[in-house]
């Protein structure tokens, strides 16, 4: 690989850390928002849904404008929006008529950045001149997990040492990362998306491809399987299991992210020796088991173990599905990457939203909400069987 592209790879790694910040920092503050701004759980659910639905809209629209403005301009805008959205969290609740609308506006701004990052980082990494693309993709996605771990661990330490009432100061510190990565991407080389320099398949060509729809089902299920537990892990640990916030954040979302990162780094190291289909199928079964452990176990300790196992099980789902699409449809181009991100973010929105909705119907019982989410690893398993057997 040309040495100049090493800078691009580092920027991609940091880009997924930025994605982890915008997706996972605010969930640590859900109960703080509830107490400080008197926002009920139903409106907290709207913040999650709005984040991923707006990312989904960006995914859909980006197929039409990314090739026109160029990958570099788009990825720079992604990081700027991410930083501005974080800044908005600290300002807009006091500016808007209600704190909830202010938070919703801030979420909307960083969702624009998160959506663009999701569309752009994976293809930018994919087109770098590297060997063993599946391994590189899994390693790339592990940095989302390391970012998630860092967000939870450093935020928890900050809340304990400085105090959670100073969460705005921590938000300013997290802003530094997308701002610095903007400078790195401004100088990093970015290769053409396709081998011949063409935009690749059109959206209509992709939508007429039956295999593409199976890949979309897999991406939706992968995103939902991951975020259904991840987005609610902190709240579940505190409210559902009755433990402290610090312990809940460490034992819930941080353990989840750490094991998810280990799974991705493991495949990134040994992926050339492991059959991807079998690895993903085994992960689906483990995910199903972890959901049942979280929702049906009478022991708080076993439920927390289930949260951790869920992180281990979902590690390969997103990068594995993406790698299958990249190898199956090599001329998919920007439209394919955008639609796959659309499917993944649809799952990221639908998974935690289903958990929140079912929980509300059962008197805020998060265990029942998570039990309902078992449908997602089952659907991914079905998609893998279809792909493996060549049935479209």
pLDDT tens, per residue, the chain with 392 residues: 556 788 888 999 999 999 999 888 888 888 888 888 888 877 887 887 788 788 878 888 887 788 788 889 999 999 999 999 999 999 999 899 899 999 999 999 999 999 899 889 988 887 777 766 777 788 888 898 888 888 888 998 998 899 888 999 999 999 999 999 999 999 988 877 655 555 667 778 888 888 889 889 999 999 999 888 877 777 766 665 666 666 666 667 777 878 888 998 898 888 778 888 889 999 999 999 999 988 888 877 787 788 888 889 999 998 888 888 877 777 777 788 888 888 887 888 788 888 888 888 887 777 888 888 899 999 999 988 887 755 44
CA–CA dist 282, 85 (Å, integer)? 38
**Cβ neighbour number for residue 99 with a 10 Å cutoff:** 18
CA–CA dist 224, 201 (Å, integer)? 27
Q: What letters, b where the CB count within 10 A reaches 16 and e where it falls short, cover 372-388? A: bbbbbbbbbbebbebbe
- Is residue 271 within 8 Å of residue 132, measured between CB atoms? yes
pTM here? 0.78
């Amino acid at each position: 690989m040309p040495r100049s592209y090493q800078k691009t790879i580092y920027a991609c790694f940091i880009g997924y850390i930025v994605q982890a910040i915008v997706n996972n920092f605010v969930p640590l503050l859900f109960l703080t928002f509830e107490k400080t701004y008197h926002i009920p759980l139903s409106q907290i659910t709207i913040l999650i849904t709005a984040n991923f639905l707006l990312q989904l809209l960006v995914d859909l629209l980006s197929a039409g404008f990314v090739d026109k403005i160029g990958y570099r301009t788009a990825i720079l805008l992604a990081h700027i929006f991410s930083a501005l959205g974080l800044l908005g969290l600290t300002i807009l609740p006091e500016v808007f008529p209600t704190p909830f609308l202010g938070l919703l506006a801030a979420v909307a701004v960083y969702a624009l950045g998160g959506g663009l990052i999701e569309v752009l980082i994976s293809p930018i990494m994919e087109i770098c001149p590297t060997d063993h693309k599946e391994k590189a993709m899994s390693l790339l996605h592990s940095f989302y997990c390391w970012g998630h771990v860092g967000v939870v661990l450093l935020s928890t330490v900050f809340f304990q040492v400085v105090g959670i009432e100073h969460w705005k100061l921590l938000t300013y510190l997290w802003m530094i990362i997308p701002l610095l990565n903007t400078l790195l991407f401004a100088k990093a080389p970015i290769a053409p998306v396709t081998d011949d320099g063409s935009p690749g398949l059109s959206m209509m060509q992709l939508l007429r491809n039956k295999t593409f729809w199976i890949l979309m089902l897999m991406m939706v299920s992968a995103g939902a399987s991951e975020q259904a537990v991840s987005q609610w892990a902190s709240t579940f640990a505190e409210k559902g299991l009755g433990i402290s916030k610090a312990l809940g954040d460490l034992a819930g979302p941080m353990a989840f992210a750490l094991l998810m990162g280990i799974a991705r780094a493991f495949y990134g190291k040994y992926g050339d020796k492991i059959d991807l289909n079998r690895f993903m199928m085994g992960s689906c079964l483990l995910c199903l088991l972890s959901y049942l452990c979280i929702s049906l176990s009478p022991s708080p300790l076993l439920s927390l173990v289930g949260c951790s196992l869920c992180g281990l099980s979902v590690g390969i789902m997103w990068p594995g599905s993406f790698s299958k699409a990249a190898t199956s449809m090599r001329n998919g181009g920007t439209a394919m990457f955008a639609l796959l991100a659309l499917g993944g973010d649809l799952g990221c929105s639908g998974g935690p939203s289903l958990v929140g909705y079912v929980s509300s119907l059962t008197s805020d019982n998060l265990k029942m909400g998570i039990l309902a989410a078992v449908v997602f690893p089952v659907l991914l398993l079905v998609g893998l069987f279809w792909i493996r057997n060549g049935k479209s």
